[in-house]
Homo-oligomer: A and B are copies of this chain.
Amino acid sequence: MARAGVTVERLAEAAAELADEVGLENVTVSELARRFGVKDASLYSHIRNAHELRVRVAVLALAELADLVAAALAGRAGKEALVAFANAYRDYAREHPGRYAAMQVELDPETARASAARRHSDMTRAILRGYSLAEPDQTDAVRLLGSTFHGFVSLEQTGGFRHHARAADESWNRTLDTLDVALRNWPVQTA
């Protein structure tokens, strides 16, 4: 009998595709084995357990998105960079909802270090070069941007904005305008 040619890489890729199709919580070892024409027990020589599958999707997604963001950021600065970053982020989440959901799973410290998570915060910091913020304000701003982008995309995905006339796109653009203004008028310490 011919071998199915299962590898961890192909498994992660297939799991990511499956996640985008049916949602991350429906990514199952059995279904994946079915897609490879293999018994589910066979997959356990490639992965340790079902959780590792999700972690691998997360790592894959983090790397993919980091590449996309890097490309979007190339040659841009200031607000242009902010908008490019944000749109790359949001577009990815909409095209790959399962991969995006996977990015939110908690990674153990080692996996997190080996992942592209660092590249993400580094690129966010790069955006802030256009706004002249020193530490620790820079870290606060990185967190503000990350929070707002993720929060918007997350609420949009779970249908939070659907039952209202105002289009999500317009709110998104105004959100970016607002962030741009906020970064340029970063508040001085009040406490």
Contacts and interface: CB of A to CB of B under 8 A. Distances in A.
Interface of A: 25, 104-107, 109, 112, 136-137, 139-140, 143-144, 146-152, 154-155, 158-161, 163-164, 166, 168, 170-171, 173-175, 177-182, 185-187, 190-191
A191 to B, nearest CB: 7
A150 B155 contact: yes
A177 B152 CA distance: 19
B25 A104 contact: no
Given A147-B155, A148-B144, A174 B137 contact: yes
B152 A140 contact: no
Contacts of A161: 143
Please provide the 4 A-B residue pairs with the shortest distance between their CB atoms, ordered closest to farther. A151-B151, A147-B151, A147-B152, A140-B174
Contacts of A144: 148, 152, 171, 174-175, 178
Given A166-B136, A177-B190, A187-B181, A152 B160 contact: no
Instruction: Report the copy number of this chain in the oligomer.
Output: 2
21 contacts: A105-B158, A107-B159, A109-B163, A112-B163, A136-B170, A139-B171, A140-B175, A140-B178, A143-B171, A144-B152, A144-B174, A146-B160, A147-B152, A150-B151, A150-B155, A151-B152, A173-B191, A174-B187, A177-B190, A178-B187, A181-B182
A169 to B, nearest CB: 11
Given A112-B163, A146-B151, A146-B155, 5 more contacts: A105-B158, A139-B166, A143-B171, A178-B182, A181-B185
A94 to B, nearest CB: 15
Contact of A186 (B147, B170, B178, B179): B178
